[in-house]
Amino acid sequence: MAQLENQILETLKPLIDANTGKSYVAAKNVKNLKCGDAEISLDVVLAYPARSQFDAVRQQFEAALAPLAEGRAIKIAVSAQIVSHSAQRGVPLLPGVKNVIAVASGKGGVGKSTTAANLALALADEGARVGLLDADIYGPSQPLMMGLQGQRPETADGKLTPLSNHGIQTMSIGYLVDADQAMVWRGPMVSQALQQLLNDTRWDDLDYLVIDMPPGTGDVQLTLSQKVPVTGALIVTTPQDIALLDARKGVTMFQKVGVPILGLVENMAIHVCSNCGHAEHIFGEGGAAKMAQDFGVELLGSLPLDLAIRQAVDEGKPAWRPIRPASRPNCTAPSPAASR
């Protein structure tokens, strides 16, 4: 049987994980290979959430092994075991958190918070345990988007217990103050409050903590980048030149503090009229693609300006899959970014 096992591994070497670009065998995703008289079985263990792709991976392996089966049953078990990725050196890890993803923009009003909420939901939908931290002290929006406005977190042993909805653990300054209360604080106070939210929250075994960063590249953003173990940053922009100008500054800031850029997300890329179906690029076209090329980063996707998305987040029921397929020119699952 040892000869058959070696033959199977050689047969599987050409199979490439589309999300990582690496061989499953080389990446050591293939485990527990067993060959018997009646059955060939193995496990495929991915290092990122991809529940929606399990069937396709299973079929890929079954097709490759079929010529070697010789009447044996083929059993392929596909699962995910999410691992921690390296963060900045010298920054202590957050208890209960494997990976931190910062969702940032150089400019406000580009849909960063909506993107962060839907990214968190998409990761959870793919099987990950996910938390969402609203780091915008001056304008917290996640309580409304997550359908938790007006609720208060409980405290136990000096730690805040995150509120949960839609399968997401969330924390925000908006849970601790009245909705209409203005936070008239200077930068150092804001930075201290954010660090307390991070360190004084009892995150429960998260694979990913998505941080909805405040807009801009000032003191608050710098503090978060230097004192939070950020695995990678996602930059949100629109195709408009004024948004791209500030987004470029955001990329530069993360590069200076050693935070990897996972990629760009182009929001409000296209609008499709709900009455006639006419599509137009209200804020311009191709700007994010050019910016991605200039910085050598990936354009992960382009999201539409869609009424259904706006209604969903305003009602506290965000749904990461756009309603009308015609309105999503390039909208993909989060597995490619998470696999990095």
For the chain, strand residue ranges (E) read 30-35, 39-46, 73-80, 97-104, 130-134, 155-156, 159-160, 163-165, 168-172, 206-212, 232-237, 261-266, 271-272, 279-280, 299-302
Assigned domain for 273 exists? yes
Assigned domain for 90 exists? no
Q: Is residue 103 domain-shared with residue 75, that is, in the same domain?
A: no
Assigned domain for 89 exists? no
Is 108 assigned a ligand-binding role in the annotation? yes
Q: Is residue 244 domain-shared with residue 295, that is, in the same domain?
A: yes
Instruction: Quickly list DSSP for 63-80.
Output: HHHHHHHTT-EEEEEEEE
CB atoms within 10 A of CB 25: 16
Long-range contacts (CB closer than 8 Å, 24 or more residues apart) made by 82-85 = 82/47, 82/48, 82/49, 82/128, 82/207, 82/208, 82/338, 83/47, 84/231, 85/231, 85/232, 85/340
Question: What's the total number of domains in the chain?
Answer: 2
Assigned domain for 171 exists? yes
Q: Is the pLDDT of residue 7 over 90?
A: yes
- 262 vs 306: which has the higher pLDDT: 262
For residue range 66-100, what is the model confidence (pLDDT) as tens digits? 999 888 999 999 999 998 887 777 788 889 999 99
For residue range 202-254, what is the model confidence (pLDDT) as tens digits? 999 999 999 999 887 777 777 777 788 899 999 999 999 989 999 999 999 89
Closest alpha carbon to 166 in 104, 114, 118, 95: 118
Confidence at 142, pLDDT banded by 50, 70, 90: very high
Q: Is residue 142 domain-shared with residue 283, that is, in the same domain?
A: yes
Q: Is residue 158 domain-shared with residue 236, that is, in the same domain?
A: yes
pLDDT of residue 318: 79
The CATH number of whichever domain residue 132 belongs to comes to: 3.40.50.300
Q: Is residue 121 domain-shared with residue 71, that is, in the same domain?
A: no
Question: 3-class DSSP state for residue 124?
Answer: helix
Domain-ending residue, one of 80, 109, 140: 80
The CATH number of whichever domain residue 69 belongs to comes to: 3.30.300.130
Q: Is the pLDDT of residue 322 over 60?
A: no
Domain-ending residue, one of 80, 114, 131: 80
Is 22 assigned a ligand-binding role in the annotation? no
pLDDT of residue 325: 42
Q: How far is CA 134 from CA 171, 261, 262, 299, 339, in A?
A: 6, 20, 20, 24, 24
Is 83 assigned a ligand-binding role in the annotation? no
pLDDT of residue 123: 94
pLDDT of residue 148: 92
Region 257-268: mean pLDDT is: 92
Region 284-312: mean pLDDT is: 89
Assigned domain for 323 exists? yes
pLDDT of residue 321: 54
Q: Is the pLDDT of residue 336 over 70?
A: no
How many angstroms separate the CA atoms of 134 and 139, rounded?
Answer: 9
Is 218 assigned a ligand-binding role in the annotation? no
Full-model pTM: 0.88
How many angstroms separate the CA atoms of 134 and 201, rounded?
Answer: 12
Q: Are 126 and 296 in contact (CB under 8 A)?
A: no
Domain of residue 33 covers: 2-80
Mean pLDDT computed over every residue of the chain: 87
Is 84 assigned a ligand-binding role in the annotation? no
Is 113 assigned a ligand-binding role in the annotation? yes
- 320 vs 28: which has the higher pLDDT: 28
Burial class of 64 by CB neighbour count within 10 A (0 to 12, 13 to 18, 19+): middle
Q: Is residue 149 domain-shared with residue 241, that is, in the same domain?
A: yes
pLDDT of residue 103: 95
How many angstroms separate the CA atoms of 311 and 114, rounded?
Answer: 11
Q: Is residue 133 domain-shared with residue 224, that is, in the same domain?
A: yes
For residue range 154-196, what is the model confidence (pLDDT) as tens digits? 998 889 999 999 999 999 998 988 777 777 777 778 888 888 8
Assigned domain for 22 exists? yes
Closest alpha carbon to 271 in 234, 322, 321: 322
Angle at 226 between CA 109 and CA 192, to 5 degrees: 75
